Chains A and B, each alone.
Chain A
Amino acid sequence: MEYFLKLFLSGTAKGSIYALIALGYTMVYGIIQLINFAHGEIYMIGGFTALILGGFFFSNGMPVWLVLLFSVLLSIIYASAFGYTIEKIAYRPLRGKPRLSALISAIGVSIVLQNFVLLAQTEKFMPFPSYLPEFSWLQPYKEYINSTQLIILGVTAIIMVFLTLLIKFTRIGKAMRATAQDMHMAQLVGVDVNQVISVTFIIGSSLAAIGGVLICSYMGQINYYIGFVAGIKAFVAAVLGGIGSIPGAVLGSFILGWTESLGTGYISSDYEDAFAFVILIVILLIKPDGILGRTQRQKV
């Protein structure tokens, strides 16, 4: 039983890692039906920005908590700026064109960003110092969960609450919901669709940046390639839960995390990814729109 609990907590930690990235994916998809392949790279850039600026502040003697605060804030700002810029350059010109074209553009952006960071920085794995606090009261439970995992879990929960409140109760949230339902109608009733889309990208990228800082702190390392791997898993999680749905992304991420963790623990780590994909196939067979997905109505 203890073993199961440990695995369950591992799965929860894994799930919250996926959720941080999956949320951004699902938000963008919900609004413009684009699988933003470059999302993983924004996550990576968020991490790198924190590494660079954090390293700079730290080596200039700033106290640790201030370094953390600044590096998180700045990486959010930079990632949002990147997201916004990318949307304007690579996606906006393709609005209204076949969806596959936007997908290809996203792949192109992903390649460009990866190689840009590779060339501008380094191909090596860089150690990522964690400025996150250690909770000493958690020490006796370290076999079950550690401070960083708890922080990631907590942040994911806060973000989910924040997003739900945003979507439900604010004006921009309403505009986002309208645009997601029907972009043309939203325009007709006066919603500035361009602004909504930009805001969505900004929020999504911010989430990715937070994910980048936290997850890289957890892994202790960063590399120009981490975006790709993380992106695919997060995308699977988002689809599992129903792409376009925010609680769906979180639910999907946790289900993915638990499946992988329990599968590894009880069967074998060799097939860790396979468990994830099998569960995906099973769920989509039963519920073709994902667990919490909205059934897309087909107009004739």
Chain B
Amino acid sequence: MKRTYMLLAVFALAGLMVFSGAQNAFAAPTIKIGVAGAHTGDLASYGLPSVNAAKLVVKNINDKGGINGQKVELVIEDDQCKPELATNAAAKLVSAKVVAVIGHICSGATKAALGIYKDSKIVTISPSATNPPLTQSGEYPNFFRTIAPDDAQAKLAATFLAKTLKLKKIAVLHDKGDYGKGFAELVKQYAEEYGVQVPLFEGINPGAPDYSAVVNKISNAKVDGVVWGGYHPEASKLVQQMKDKGMNIPFISDDGVKDNTFIEVAGKYAEGVYATGPTDTSTNALAIKAIEEHKKTFGTEPGAFFLNAYAATQALLNAIEKAGSTDYNKIVAALKSNYVDTPLGHISFDQKGDIIGFGFSVYQVKNGVFVELK
């Protein structure tokens, strides 16, 4: 029957594809480290720099002879910051028998993948996933990160606007996404604890061309400042449309906006915008060296989370070395009990997996550059 023939053909084809895609066994045993994140799609600019960082660190280590006599090998998988692709990537990495994973990049994808890593006992260090429950809920003892969680960021932003800028009434906007809304909600909570009023708390549609209605609403609410939780494309449109309507109130945002692309896109409208971001490391000698390395090897300036990923890879490899093995429990213990010198500073990890020795600062755009405010 024709139909069965077709079904057979389809299954055979699938099987053939599988055979052709099967992994080859490597002769010499290497320590396999997975690198997972958004490498294609619209968030690729957040994920690719981490791949570069891992590559640089691993090359350095391998040139020195590897760890415990073995070379380190990277297994790179793309998840486009989508949870369902993240689980596939995680499954692939587990099948490839990685010892640990640097990743993922987006909190949502990380959450999805952690389920698999946890059960397979694979250490996961993220350079950029800032969702607080990832470490603080205690659900994922295998998870670490080389970036401070969102509540630290939110608290900093709230304290800044309440105590330094002395704002009394603010509007809080977000992009309805996990990261942006999370930040916005925390800022609202902390700000209200300081006695700041938040008459307006709303989500806007990312990707919409026109926010003039929301801007009208903001000006109608007569607030002293606006807090934005989300990424830079929307921040850029908001700032432009606000200034066009003559609103010159402070605009405070999160590290999704503390990115040079924001300044590029918003142009003159970016001036004066505040954003929280990881503490400035430009005077750190190791950071300078790492950035030079990147420019020499890849020909461009490194992008988002490069230094965080660099530090994560270094901390991980250091822990494996100190532990003398690739055993899960030993690596976890080593991460928590050792300090490493990285481009982020002298860092270690606390009991929950959060980073010690590195935090957030507030930045402001002055003359077209993000300047750290002390």
B176 within 8 A of A: yes
B60 within 8 A of A: no
- Contacts A124-B45, A125-B232, A229-B208 known; A221 to B265 CB distance under 8 Å? yes
CB distance from A20 to the nearest CB of B (A): 10
Q: Are A269 and B202 in contact, with the CB atoms below 8 A?
A: yes
Q: Please, which residues of chain B bring their CB within 8 A of the CB of A225?
A: 42, 207
Q: Which B residues from 219 to 269 make CB contacts under 8 A with A?
A: 219-220, 232-233, 236-237, 240, 244-246, 261, 264-267, 269
Most buried by A among B176, B219, B233: B233
Interface residues of A (CB under 8 A from B): 3, 6-7, 10-11, 13-14, 17, 123-127, 129, 142-143, 146, 149, 215, 218-221, 223, 225-226, 229-230, 260-262, 264-265, 268-270, 272-273
Q: Are A220 and B236 in contact, with the CB atoms below 8 A?
A: yes
Q: List 17 A-B contacts (CB under 8 A).
A: A3-B216, A7-B216, A14-B213, A123-B41, A124-B45, A125-B236, A125-B261, A125-B265, A127-B265, A219-B237, A220-B265, A221-B265, A261-B212, A264-B214, A268-B202, A269-B203, A272-B205
Q: Which of A123, A220, A223, A265 contacts B217 (CB 8 A)?
A: A265
Q: Please, which residues of chain B bring their CB within 8 A of the CB of A223?
A: 42, 233
Q: Please, which residues of chain A bring their CB within 8 A of the CB of B173?
A: 269
Number of chain B residues close to chain A: CB under 8 A? 35
Q: Are A123 and B207 in contact, with the CB atoms below 8 A?
A: no
Q: Are A17 and B217 in contact, with the CB atoms below 8 A?
A: no
Q: Please, which residues of chain B bring their CB within 8 A of the CB of A272?
A: 204-205, 208
Q: Are A269 and B204 in contact, with the CB atoms below 8 A?
A: yes
Q: Are B213 and A11 in contact, with the CB atoms below 8 A?
A: yes
Q: Please, which residues of chain B bring their CB within 8 A of the CB of A226?
A: 207, 209
CB distance from A220 to the nearest CB of B (A): 5
B139 within 8 A of A: no
B198 within 8 A of A: no
Q: Which residue of chain B is the closest to A215 with respect to CB atoms?
A: B209
Q: Please, which residues of chain B bring their CB within 8 A of the CB of A264?
A: 213-214, 217
Q: Which of B203, B207, B208, B213 contacts A270 (CB 8 A)?
A: B203
- Contacts A221-B233, A265-B213 known; A127 to B264 CB distance under 8 Å? yes
CB distance from B320 to the nearest CB of A (A): 34
Q: Please, which residues of chain A bring their CB within 8 A of the CB of B202?
A: 268-270
Interface SS of B by simple majority = helix
Interface residues of B (CB under 8 A from A): 41-42, 44-45, 173, 176, 202-205, 207-210, 212-214, 216-217, 219-220, 232-233, 236-237, 240, 244-246, 261, 264-267, 269
CB distance from A165 to the nearest CB of B (A): 28
In the complex, what distance in Å separates the CA atom of A149 from the CA atom of B203?
23
CB distance from B239 to the nearest CB of A (A): 9
CB distance from B12 to the nearest CB of A (A): 26
In the complex, what distance in Å separates the CA atom of A292 from the CA atom of B212?
28
Q: Which of B203, B208, B219 contacts A143 (CB 8 A)?
A: B219
In the complex, what distance in Å separates the CA atom of A14 from the CA atom of B241?
13
Beyond contacts A124-B261, A220-B267: 9 other A-B pairs, Cβ-Cβ < 8 A, are: A7-B213, A7-B216, A10-B216, A220-B240, A265-B217, A269-B203, A269-B214, A270-B202, A272-B204
Q: Are A230 and B213 in contact, with the CB atoms below 8 A?
A: no
Q: Please, which residues of chain A bring their CB within 8 A of the CB of B217?
A: 264-265, 269
In the complex, what distance in Å separates the CA atom of A218 from the CA atom of B212?
11
- Contacts A14-B210, A220-B236, A229-B207 known; A143 to B220 CB distance under 8 Å? no
Q: Which residue of chain A is the closest to B246 with respect to CB atoms?
A: A142
CB distance from B129 to the nearest CB of A (A): 21
CB distance from A266 to the nearest CB of B (A): 9
Q: Which residue of chain A is the closest to B264 with respect to CB atoms?
A: A127
CB distance from A113 to the nearest CB of B (A): 15
In the complex, what distance in Å separates the CA atom of A299 from the CA atom of B316?
72
In the complex, what distance in Å separates the CA atom of A267 from the CA atom of B208?
18
Q: Are B210 and A10 in contact, with the CB atoms below 8 A?
A: yes
